[in-house]
Amino acid sequence: MLPTILDLSSLRAAYRSGLTPLDIVEEVIARRAASKDPAIFITPVPDDELRSAAKALMARAPEANSLPLWGVPFAVKDNIDAAGLPTTAACPAYEYRPDVDSTVVARLKAAGAIVIGKTNLDQFATGLNGTRSPYGAPRSVFDKAYISGGSSSGSAVTVASGLAAFSLGTDTAGSGRVPAALNNLVGIKPTPGLLPNTGAIPACRSVDCITIFAPTVGDGIAIRRVAEGFDAADPFSRRAKPATLPVSGLRIGVLTGVEREFFGDKEVEALYDQAIERARALGATIVAFDYAPFREAAALLYDGPWVAERLAAVEDFLATNAADFDPTVRGIIEGARGKSAVNAFNGRYRLEELRRKTEAEWEKADVLLLPTAPTTYTVADMLADPVVLNGRLGRYTNFVNLLDCAAIAVPAGFGNGNLPGGVTVIAPAFTDDALAPLADALHRTAASGMGIDREAAIPEASRVVAVDDGFVEIVVVGAHLTGMPLNHELTGAGARLVKTCSTSGEYRLFVLPDTVPPKPGLIREPGFQGAGLEVEVWALPADAFGRFVQKIPAPLGIGKVALDDGTSVSGFLCEAHAVKGAEDITSLGGWRSYISTRLAS
C-alpha cells in the first residue's frame, strides 16, 4: 500500500518489495483520474504512453532501484521542454512541440525518472498566485477557495496531492517557493546557474532558475544533484563552487520592527515566530538584521528595468498575438516598453549599491530566515485585485535571485484556519548543500507532515545531517551498522550517523567466511543492475578517521562507494578474490536482512 505522498523512500521500499514502475504508473493513472482539480495539468501524458515509458525503463534497467531515480514519477512545468509533449507557457497560441528534452529533464530521465505530464502555470511564468492561465487556476490542496501559489502552480499541486514524487518549477521572483509554502511542500531554489536553463522558456533570462518541489528536503537535494551541472549550451550556466556555513554557532537573521509585514495575517506571523523559536532550540543564534536593502532590491524586479527582460523573451510573439495574452500578464510585460537602456544601466547601478548595503547585513548573519509568503488569498480576492495582492506575495522572495542567493522553502505548520504557512532559509551563492541540514531540521520540527498528508512522518532515510568541518564521511555496510557488534568503534571515536541509504545498483554483497564477528564483503561489479544494498553513512573526526582506517583488516579496505542519490562516499569495499565461493546475499538487500534471516533460522 503506497502512502498518500510519494516520497523517494517509500517508492524505493515499494520497489524492493516487488512492485514495478508499471505498478506505480498504474497508481498514478488511477490517482490522476480521481483528482478533483481539473486545472493541474495542461498536457498529461496519456495513460498508454505512461505504461510504455515504464516498460521501456524496465527493459533498459531491469533491476529495481538500479538507477538513482528508477521509476520515480515527476511532473514538468509547461515552460520547460519535455520531448514529444507540447510546450505552451500557458498560452495556447504559443504552443510548440520540442523534439528533445530540456537539459534538466534529460538528466532526470536518464536517472530513471518518468514524466507524467506538463503542468499549469501563471502565463509566461509571470505571477506568484496561479490564477493567470486560460487553463484554469489550480487550487490549494487544503481549501479549493484559495490560490495554490504561482507561477509554478500545477507543479506544486501534483506533488502535494500525491500525483508525483517531485516536480520541476521555475523561479524568477519566488515561483519555486511560494507554491511550496501554500501546499505544505519543500521548494528547492538553487543558486542561479546551478541547474541549466537550456530548453526552458525565459522570463528574466539573467535571473531565472529551474526549481524542484519535493516532499522532503533530502529528496529535493538528491534530485537537484542529479539535475545540476554545467551546460555550455546555457550562457548563464555556472560551475558549482560549494560554500560552507557554520555547523555550530550558526547565526540566523530574522525580521524585526517595521520590516515585519504580514498584511494583517496574524496566523502566518505566529508560524514565523514559532519557526524562529525552533531554530533557536536547534542551537542557532538569532540575530536582528535590516531587511530594507533586500526589500529595495526586490522592488527592482517588477518596478525597475528588469521587467524589460520579460518583454525581450516574448517581444516578437507579443507583436502579433497580443490578444492571446492574459490581460494582467500583458499589462506587466507591455509596461516594459517605456524602459530605456539608460533605465537599465541605472537599475544595475542601483542593484549594486543595494548589494553593497546587504554585505553589512551578511556580516551579522550567516543565514536569513524569512516568511516564504506573508499571507495568502482566495482565488476570488486575487482575481479582483491581481497586481497588488500578487505583489504582496513576493515581499520576501523577489530579491533572492537578483542578489545571487540559494534558498530552500520548507513548511512551517498550519494556522487555525487549517491553511499552511512556510519559511525560507537563504544564504549567498553555492550554499545549496550547506543550507539543507537547517532546512530539514526546521521541516521536521514543524511536525506538519508532507503535502496534503498533515500526519505523515518524514522518513528517516531522507534526513540531512550537518557535518562539522574536519569530519570525514564513511559508508558502512556490515558489522559497523547501528546495533551491530562493531558499531561501538564508530560511536567511541565520536562518529555521528549521517543517514541510512542504499548503494547504487552495481554492487553485490557476500558473506566472508571465518570472520569474527561475521562480516560481509561489498564488491562493485560494473554492468550489474541490482536493487542497491542498504548502508549507513557516518561522519568521523578527521584524526579518528585515519586511526579507524588503519585498523581495517584485509581483505577489506576503503574505496569510493556510489550511492543511490548519485553521490560517492568513501566506504568499505572488499578484494574480489576473497569472495570466490562465498555466499551471495545480494538479493536480501543488505547485511541487516541477512542477520535477521540467519537468526530466524
Catalytic residue annotation: 77, 151, 175
Asked if 256 contacts 222 with a C-beta cutoff of 8 angstroms, the reply is no
Write the DSSP symbol of residue 252: E
Distance CA 275, CA 397 (A): 17
What type of residue sits at position 559?
G
At 220, list the grid cell: 529535493
At 240, list the grid cell: 558549482
Question: 379-400 burial by CB neighbour count: b if 16+ within 10 A, else e?
Answer: beebbeebeebbbbbbbbbbbb
CB atoms closer than 10 angstroms to residue 249: 9
Instruction: Give which of 66, 163, 76 is closest to 112, Cα–Cα.
Output: 66
What type of residue sits at position 292?
A
Distance CA 409, CA 228 (A): 19
Write the DSSP symbol of residue 247: S
SS3 content of the chain, % helix, strand, coil (to 5): 35, 20, 40
DSSP 291-357: -HHHHHHHHHHHHSTTHHHHHHHHHHHHHHHGGGS-HHHHHHHHGGGG--HHHHHHHHHHHHHHHHH
Beta-carbon-side half-sphere exposure of residue 291 (alpha carbons within 13 Å): 26
Paired strand residues for 207? none
Asked if 189 contacts 409 with a C-beta cutoff of 8 angstroms, the reply is yes
Distance CA 146, CA 267 (A): 16
